[in-house]
Amino acid sequence: MSLGFAIVGCGMIADFHARAIADLRGAKLVACFSRNEERASEFGANHGCTAYTDLDEMLADPAVDVVSVCTPSGAHMEPGVAAARAGKHVIIEKPLEITLKRCDKLIGECEKAGVKLSTIFPSRFHGPSVELKKAITAGRFGTLTMGDAYVKWFRTQEYYDSGAWRGTWALDGGGALMNQAIHSVDLLCWLMGDVEEISAYTSLLAHERIEVEDVAVASLKFNSGALGVIQASTASYPGFLKRIEISGSAGSAIMEEEDLKKWEFAKMTKKDQAIQERLAGKTNTGGGAADPKAIGHHGHTAQFKDFVDAIKKDREPLINGPEGRRAVEVILAIYKAAETGKSVPLPLKSDPVLKARKK
């Protein structure tokens, strides 16, 4: 059985989705949608699929089994819900949405329709991420003590000026955290477990004409008792590869983008050297640190493969709706902690009412 994919939204990230789909067996890009006729036609011609400017018409196409949503972050819910109601499986570029209410609407509608839902977090599929998760599950780190994420990237003013939605609360949902560092937020929570409490600072220091933060620092206490830090920036010239650092009483590991930089345990095994050799020097792109286009699509391909397998075997994808929601909740808690100057316990009972979003 070959699954027909459609892409909603024909911006920059849609090209990565199209390339990932093209690499899959048992999947084919059959349609795309944009309200901009010229953009839809160009995308359709470039990727050999039918272009639509009417979403309902595209969703009525029997060749479409899966809808990939690539619209601005705060406009994910509407096409996602429409796709679910049309009986299509839904995969959404990060973040799932920008509020918990909108995330929950997506999750609920997909459950009601009996379709699969996933959020794009390709970093989970990178080799070091997989090995880190295995080692944590096996208890090799002993007592987990610290889990840290560092995303010190750089975005020019031109980047924010290139789209009216960029850097807005209404459609971007936030800044360096919600748009860029959310991949690392997800990865950190996947590895370390749920967060119990957060304190934070955020600021807008180096960009103009945007509403959101370009610098953020948060301190975390995980449910396990371990502590951690999240640093996020789009104002750190020239931009550096993102890092995840995991420490425990019996081992530590450092991952920089797709490279395993440190892998040390009190009790080393014969497999450890092979893991180190296999996963050293794997990053061959800029990792998006300074250029959002300087990423590979192989992570997307791996996640799309998992999603296709989940559909065919009727199982949950590795990253389902609730998994996508978790990273959004952590980021919203950071925003609340930064605004109030108080620590914020999780889970959040509802979306925080942020003064910035009232503008």
Residue range 251-259: mean pLDDT, rounded: 95
Instruction: Please give the model's pTM, rounded to 2 decimal places.
Output: 0.96
Distance CA 152, CA 216 (A): 10
pLDDT of residue 358: 61
Q: Is the dihedral of CA 166, 167, 168, 169 positive or negative?
A: positive
pLDDT digits (tens, 9 = 90+) for 305-356: 999 999 999 999 999 999 999 999 999 999 999 999 999 999 999 999 888 7
Q: Would you say residue 43 has pLDDT above 80?
A: yes
pLDDT of residue 294: 67
- Preceding amide of 238 cis, omega within 30: yes
Percent of the chain with pLDDT over 70: 98
Question: For residue 326, which of 190, 200, 229, 144 has the smallest C-alpha distance?
Answer: 190
pLDDT of residue 342: 97
Residue range 106-131: mean pLDDT, rounded: 97
Q: Classify residue 59 as exposed, middle or buried by CB count within 10 Å of its CB (0-12, 13-18, 19+).
A: buried
SS3 56: helix
| Residue 217 token pair | 């620092």
pLDDT of residue 288: 77
Residue spans of the domains in the chain: they are 3-122+300-320, 124-290+325-345
pLDDT of residue 353: 87
SS3 195: strand
Residues 64/82, Cβ–Cβ less than 8 Å: no
Angle between helical axes of 12-22 and 298-313 (0-180°, round to 10): 60
**DSSP character at residue 118:** E
Residue range 9-16: mean pLDDT, rounded: 95
Give residue 215's pLDDT band: very low, low, confident or very high (50, 70, 90).
very high
pLDDT of residue 1: 74
Residues 352/332, Cβ–Cβ less than 8 Å: yes
Q: Which fold has domain 3-122+300-320?
A: Rossmann fold (3.40.50)
**CATH class (in words) of the domain with range 124-290+325-345:** alpha beta
Residues 171/73, Cβ–Cβ less than 8 Å: yes
Average pLDDT across the chain, whole number: 95
